[in-house]
Each structure stands twice: as structure tokens, then as C-alpha cells.
């Protein structure tokens, strides 16, 4: 029995490792679009962008561990089509296996309009390296996007001592994700450090001179001058290569509760949208990539494990770490500690605790997680 994993990153590598740990000795191939050996993405907007970590430090495993895995890594050759259990690649390879695991993650959204020099997105190591190179002294940076990635990038650019403005349509940073109270606190953190926030107004487009970006135009007519623009408007599941595969692809690869998209075809990580009771769920976070891959490996080996995680993500902005377990709602109460320092908050839905947020309080947050039930 052979396994082909498409996507050589967090979910893909974990699937291969979990199979080996469980005693699977048959061939495993890991196909990746990028030339890099598997690396981790969370440091890209933090330690790597700041210059504290180099490329080697972002690697998920040292070479010795990759060799010991005894899997064939085919890197720098994106999949272009899936036909049954056969994957076709850009270079013309055809790879067939008894089980195919789709772990291709996301592709960042861009602003419409012509390509302009100085405009960046941040998803890959190459994206991060290009952005880091552009952050030279005196540049004026505008981050477009008020979600978690935009907020992290603005914080890092500010820590580098550069002038940075963050623009987005929400009234508060990460408001849709964490609510107005936490969004307001994050805003205070950013403003105190020197980030200029232009919230509550959508971005209309970019302006350029001679093929280089010169500014960001807001819907109210204001123009934010910029030498470097980072577009952090979210990302879409990387499923273009699955067109014509016969799989159901709707905002991700639609799977059953066992993360199975078709007979012998599974999906894991950011790209997977699986059935959790009466709804379909897709999560974009690092912990899910690992946990879902572990579940997929178990199910390939016939264990029939339904995937029922308690969602979790963290974000680091300036010296604050936010940790979020479960599902934030609009109803937030402080459960422990004090706002402005370290605290734990509960999110409720119909009186039941559905989410726990920790603000610089890792130990306490873990303790409160017990209030949550699985998806
Ligand atoms: C800058 C950044 C910071 C983040 N910070 C945090 C954080 O602080 N906390 C947190 O919880 N989460 C964070 N995340 C999210 C986390 O990194 C992702 O949830 C996680 O990487 C998902 O893993 P994955 O393996 O599903 O997808 P990915 O890591 O995106 O990997 C998918 C892989 O598939 C490859 N691929 C794509 N298309 C093809 C194809 N056609 N053929 C072959 N290979 C293909 C890609 O090149 C990529 O290597 C961050 C993400 C980014 C980008």
C-alpha cells in the first residue's frame, strides 16, 4: 500500500511522520510545489521577518530526520491535476498511489490591478525573504488588512523601527475573529508602539509611478503614501489543481468526518473542509495542520477516527501572546486577571462557554480550556 502526500509542509510532513510512527513501512512520496525543504510558517511574520531567525531555523525538521523518514521528497514540482489516484505535475511526472493526501494549504489574495514593484504578500519563505529585503531604513510601509496576519506584520515592521500604517475596513483589529473588546485592546497596543491605524475604511486600490507602488488609496478618497505595501487580505484554499478531479471543492476540499474526500483520497490542514456534525468546518491554524494530519494517518491505516478538534491558534504581537481555544463569539467576559495586563476571557453562546482567550497568560489559559467541548 503506497501513500502520496501533496503539499510538503506542516500537514503533509506530519502525515508522513505519523504513518511511519504507526509502523507503516510501504512507500511514501511527498510532493511539494516549493524547492525548500519543509519549513514552518508562523515564524515568517515574526522571528524571520524581524531578522532574528535565518532560513535554516524555520525548517520543520533537520535533514537527518527527513532522511530517517525514508520518504521520497519530490520538491519544486507543483501538482497540476488529480485523476483518480494519479497526480500529474508541472514537470510532466505522473505519480500514483493507493492513498492520496491533499495538504496544499492556501494561496494569498491579492488586490486587483497591475503588478507593481514594492507590493508584497506573505505566505511562503520566498515571500518573507523578499519582504524582509525590501524593509530598508526610511521606507514607508502600509499593511493592507486588519486580520491576524496584517496585525502581526505591522507589529514586526514597527519593531524594526520603520514607519508603518495598517489599513482595513473593520472598526478594530481582528474584530471579526475576536470581537470588539479584544480588537480595541490590540489597537491600543499597536498605537502605543507607533503603528498608525486607519481602520473603519476599506482600501480602494493602489497607486503607482513608473511601475512602482507609491500609495494606497482608501474608499474615502484618502491616499496613504507607501514605498512598500503588504497585502494581507486573507487567502483561499489552494485547490486550482483539483479542477476536473471529481472531488467536491467548495471553499476547500470537502471531506467527511474522517477527513476523506473520496475513496483513498484525504485532505488535511488549511485546505481541508470536513464535516463536523451538521456543518462543514475549515480551520487555518498551525495546530490544526498537525492534529488533522495525525487523524488522516490513522484513518489511512483503517482506524476510523472522526476528526473532532478543539480549535486553537496563537498570535504574537509586540510582547503580547494571544491564545484562543474554541470559537470566539460576541459575548465576552473576563474570567481571571485584569484587562491591560494578563487575563483570561470566556466567550459564550447561549450561556455556554464556547471559547477561551488568554492575553499573556499561557498557564491560566490552558486551565480554562477544560470548559470547552469538542467540535
Ligand atoms: C506568515 C504566517 C504566519 C502564521 N502564524 C501563525 C500563528 O502564529 N499561529 C497559528 O496558529 N497559525 C499561524 N499561521 C498559519 C499556519 O502556518 C498554517 O495554518 C499552516 O502552515 C497550515 O499548514 P498546511 O500544511 O495545511 O499548509 P501550508 O503550510 O500552506 O503548506 C501547504 C504546502 O503545499 C504546497 N503546495 C501548494 N500547492 C501545491 C501544489 N499544487 N502541488 C504541490 N504542493 C503544493 C505549498 O507550497 C506549501 O508548501 C501562519 C501562517 C502564515 C502564512
In the predicted model, what is the mean pLDDT of residues 107-114?
94
Residue 340: its pLDDT value, please? Answer: 78
Q: Indicate the range of 127-131, 166-170, 328-332 predicted with least confidence.
A: 328-332
Residue 375: its pLDDT value, please? Answer: 52
Task: Give 206's pLDDT tier (boundaries 50, 70, 90).
Answer: very high
Residue 179 scores a pLDDT above 70: yes
Q: What is the pLDDT of residues 279-310, one digit of tens each?
A: 999 999 999 999 999 999 999 999 999 999 99
Residue 266: its pLDDT value, please? Answer: 99
Coil/strand/helix, residue 20:
helix
Q: Are 135 and 155 in contact (CB under 8 A)?
A: no
Q: What is the pLDDT of residues 125-146, one digit of tens each?
A: 999 999 999 999 999 999 999 9
Q: Which residues of 203-221 are buried (b: 16+ CB within 10 A; e: fewer)?
A: beebbbeeeebbbbebeee
In the predicted model, what is the mean pLDDT of residues 327-351?
93
Regarding the beta carbon of 27 and ligand 1, being less than 6 Å apart is answered no
Residue 219: its pLDDT value, please? Answer: 97
Task: Give the β-pairing of 272-276 and 235-237.
Answer: unpaired
Could you give the CA distance from residue 150 to residue 148 in angstroms, rounded to a whole number? 6
Domains of the chain: 3-107+235-300 (3.50.50.60), 110-231 (3.50.50.60), 319-371 (no CATH)
Percent of the chain with pLDDT over 90: 96
Q: Are 355 and 325 in contact (CB under 8 A)?
A: yes
Regarding the beta carbon of 292 and ligand 1, being less than 6 Å apart is answered no
DSSP conformational letter for 117? B
DSSP conformational letter for 39? B
Regarding the beta carbon of 286 and ligand 1, being less than 6 Å apart is answered yes
Residue 373 scores a pLDDT above 80: no
- Centre of ligand 1 to C-alpha 39, Å, is 9
Task: Give 374's pLDDT tier (boundaries 50, 70, 90).
Answer: low
Q: How far is CA 71 from CA 25, 31, 40, 78, 95, in A?
A: 10, 10, 19, 18, 14
- Centre of ligand 1 to C-alpha 172, Å, is 26
- Centre of ligand 1 to C-alpha 310, Å, is 19
Residues 6+ apart with CB under 8 A from 239: 104, 249, 252, 253, 271
- The C-alpha cell 514540482 sits at 77
Taking CA 151 as the corner, what is the angle to CA 180 and CA 329, rounded to the nearest 5 degrees? 30
Would you give the end-to-end CA distance of the chain in angstroms? 32
Amino acid at each position: 500500500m503506497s501513500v502520496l502526500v501533496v503539499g510538503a509542509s506542516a500537514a503533509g510532513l506530519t502525515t508522513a511522520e505519523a504513518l511511519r510512527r504507526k509502523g507503516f513501512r510501504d512507500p511514501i512520496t511527498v510532493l511539494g510545489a516549493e524547492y525548500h525543504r519543509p519549513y514552518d510558517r508562523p515564524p515568517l511574520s515574526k522571528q524571520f521577518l524581524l531578522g532574528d531567525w535565518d532560513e535554516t531555523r524555520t525548517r520543520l525538521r533537520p535533514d537527518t530526520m527527513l532522511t530517517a523518514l525514508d520518504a521520497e521528497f519530490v520538491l519544486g514540482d507543483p501538482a497540476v491535476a488529480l485523476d483518480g489516484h494519479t497526480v500529474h505535475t508541472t514537470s510532466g511526472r505522473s505519480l500514483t498511489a493507493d492513498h492520496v493526501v491533499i495538504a496544499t494549504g492556501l494561496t494569498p489574495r491579492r488586490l486587483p490591478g497591475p503588478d507593481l514593484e514594492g507590493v508584497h504578500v506573505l505566505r511562503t519563505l520566498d515571500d518573507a525573504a523578499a519582504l524582509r529585503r525590501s524593509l530598508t531604513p526610511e521606507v514607508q510601509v502600509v499593511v493592507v488588512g486588519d486580520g491576524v496576519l496584517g496585525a502581526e506584520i505591522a507589529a514586526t515592521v514597527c519593531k524594526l523601527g520603520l514607519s508603518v500604517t495598517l489599513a482595513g475596513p473593520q472598526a478594530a483589529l481582528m474584530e471579526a475573529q475576536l470581537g470588539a473588546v479584544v480588537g480595541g485592546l490590540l489597537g491600543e497596543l499597536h498605537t502605543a508602539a507607533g503603528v498608525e491605524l486607519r481602520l473603519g475604511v476599506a482600501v480602494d486600490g493602489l497607486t503607482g509611478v513608473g511601475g512602482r507602488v507609491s500609495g494606497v488609496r482608501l474608499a474615502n478618497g484618502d491616499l496613504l503614501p507607501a514605498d512598500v505595501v503588504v497585502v494581507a487580505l486573507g487567502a483561499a484554499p489552494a485547490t486550482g489543481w483539483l479542477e476536473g478531479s471529481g472531488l467536491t471543492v467548495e471553499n476547500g476540499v470537502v471531506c467527511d468526518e474522517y477527513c476523506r474526500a473520496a475513496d483513498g483520497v484525504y485532505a488535511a490542514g488549511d485546505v481541508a473542509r470536513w464535516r463536523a456534525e451538521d456543518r462543514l468546518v475549515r480551520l487555518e491554524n498551525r495546530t490544526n495542520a498537525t492534529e488533522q494530519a495525525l487523524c488522516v494517518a490513522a484513518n489511512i491505516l483503517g482506524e476510523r477516527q472522526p476528526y473532532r478538534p478543539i480549535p486553537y491558534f496563537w498570535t504574537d504581537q509586540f510582547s503580547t501572546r494571544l491564545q484562543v481555544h474554541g470559537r470566539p463569539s460576541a459575548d465576552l467576559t473576563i474570567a481571571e486577571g485584569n484587562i491591560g495586563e494578563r487575563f483570561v476571557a470566556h466567550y459564550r453562546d447561549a450561556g455556554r462557554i464556547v471559547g477561551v482567550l488568554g492575553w499573556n497568560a499561557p498557564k491560566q489559559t490552558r486551565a480554562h480550556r477544560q470548559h470547552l467541548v469538542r467540535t
